[in-house]
Amino acid sequence: MFTYATYFDAICPLTGELKRYFGETIEAISEEDAFRYAQENGLEYLHIAGILESYTDEETGETTLFNSYWN
């Protein structure tokens, strides 16, 4: 199982510019499965960016590892 990062494009309410925002993460066995999950669960606006391997919290500096290829 992999964790996939997602994003969506929307107009910023402060500036009126089109910006890219991070969406929620999706756990799936493949990119196609992640896409299918988004389509079937009301998340059609999300684009699948790819496998998310780690995330670093900007406030705490703590890094979380999501995927291990040796499971």
Compute the mean pLDDT over every residue in the chain, rounded to the nearest whole number.
89
Long-range contacts of 26-33, Cβ-Cβ distance < 8 Å, separation of 24 or more:
27/1, 27/2, 27/3, 28/1, 28/2, 28/4, 29/1, 29/2, 30/2, 31/4
How many domains does the chain fold into? 1
| Residue 40 covered by a domain | yes
| Residue 60 covered by a domain | yes
Name the pTM for this structure.
0.75
| Residue 71 covered by a domain | no
State the average pLDDT over residues 39-43.
96
For residue 52, the one-letter residue type is: L
| Residue 32 covered by a domain | yes
State the average pLDDT over residues 15-31.
94
Structural domain span for residue 38: 2-65
